[in-house]
Chains A and B, each alone.
Chain A
Amino acid sequence: AQTVTQSQPEMSVQEAETVTLSCTYDTSESNYYLFWYKQPPSRQMILVIRQEAYKQQNATENRFSVNFQKAAKSFSLKISDSQLGDTAMYFCAFTLTSGTYKYIFGTGTRLKVLA
């Protein structure tokens, strides 16, 4: 069975600084997708970034980038130039490209950006 682990329940960062959120996963499959979702206080879940496992290049979306280490089964999220609006819960998620159709989420990291 696939699992997703986020070992940092809470983190804080100063505005304009850089922060990295950790995520590890476990699977015996080779084809899958990985995602980071953001949940601000409004409760709405928003996709931040996605990574296809077959792509070696790390995904980047503006100030958000990932460090995808397939062999280590690690998928960390780096937020550069942190802004107050980045304050939110961040969830790492995993799904296979075929087979079970089950989307697995980690337990989340609560990030607070300090002014």
Chain B
Amino acid sequence: NAGVTQTPKFQVLKTGQSMTLQCAQDMNHEYMSWYRQDPGMGLRLIHYSVGAGITDQGEVPNGYNVSRSTTEDFPLRLLSAAPSQTSVYFCASSSLLAGGPYEQYFGPGTRLTVT
């Protein structure tokens, strides 16, 4: 049972480049989410999904796209990277207990630098 996996662990991009951060979970969780972590700002929700084919915006969605074609996978796409997107990115998953996300299981994070 691998839990939540994220690739890559580190990435350097040039401004304007695109890339996809991969996230997968093997716990059959309905809920998956992406966060960015910046110093002094905690974790901020980018996008989330409550099941295959269903996604919604979080607190800071601009510049990011997501899709959820399977229960297991929830990739995050940066279409045109900007220096403001330099951050640590976490993917997480959770079962939907009594209607809402419960304990979240986190991946190890991706440190992204945009130059």
- Residues of chain A whose beta carbon lies under 8 Å from any beta carbon of chain B: 6, 9, 32-33, 35, 43-47, 50, 91, 95-99, 101-108
Residues of B within 8 A of A9 (CB): 40
Contact B92 A45 (CB under 8 A): yes
A91-B42, A108-B42 known; A98 vs B103 contact (CB < 8 Å) = no
A105 to B36, CA, bound (A): 11
A45-B92, A102-B58 known; A107 vs B100 contact (CB < 8 Å) = no
Residue of B whose beta carbon sits closest to that of A96: B100
Contact A97 B98 (CB under 8 A): yes
Tally of contact residues, B, Cβ under 8 A: 28
Q: Select which of A6, A44, A91, A95 is within 8 A of B100 by beta carbon.
A: A95
Residues of A within 8 A of B90 (CB): 45
Residue of A whose beta carbon sits closest to that of B58: A102
Q: Is B41 part of the binding interface, using a Cβ–Cβ cutoff of 8 Å?
A: yes
A98 to B88, CA, bound (A): 28
